[in-house]
């Protein structure tokens, strides 16, 4: 898995270098705005984590009777 992450990071870096060569003002704007976009996305990530937990809890509550009666566990 670490090799795949490194490969994706290298590809991203190479694409950014290509953008820098082809259109350097756009590349610099992207470089400056990327941290702002990341900061703005943090609340949405937290909401996604919270909703995932709520839906997992609802699924567990709905499937609890079947699991108690010995039903097969879904994958």
- Asked if residue 74 belongs to a domain, the reply is no
Half-sphere exposure of 63 (CA within 13 A, CB side): 13
The two tokens of residue 42 are 């943090």
Q: Residue 19's pLDDT band (boundaries 50, 70, 90)?
A: confident
Residue partners of 49: CB distance under 8 A and separation at least 6? none
pLDDT value, residue 58: 95
pLDDT value, residue 16: 84
Determine the average pLDDT of the residues in 32-41. 93
Q: Report the number of distinct structural domains present in the chain.
A: 1
Report the alpha-carbon distance of residue 37 to residue 29 in Å, rounded: 12
Q: Residue 55 above 90 pLDDT?
A: yes
The two tokens of residue 36 are 């702002």
- Asked if residue 75 belongs to a domain, the reply is no
Residue ranges of the alpha helices (H) in 1-75? 2-22, 24-68
Domain that holds residue 43: 2-68
């Amino acid at each position: 898995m670490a090799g795949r992450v490194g490969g994706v990071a290298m590809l991203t870096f190479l694409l950014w270098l290509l953008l820098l060569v082809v259109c350097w003002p756009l590349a610099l704007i992207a470089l400056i705005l990327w941290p702002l976009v990341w900061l703005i996305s943090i609340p949405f990530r937290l909401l996604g984590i919270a909703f995932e937990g709520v839906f997992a809890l609802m699924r567990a509550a709905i499937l609890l009777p079947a699991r108690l009666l010995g039903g097969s566990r879904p994958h």
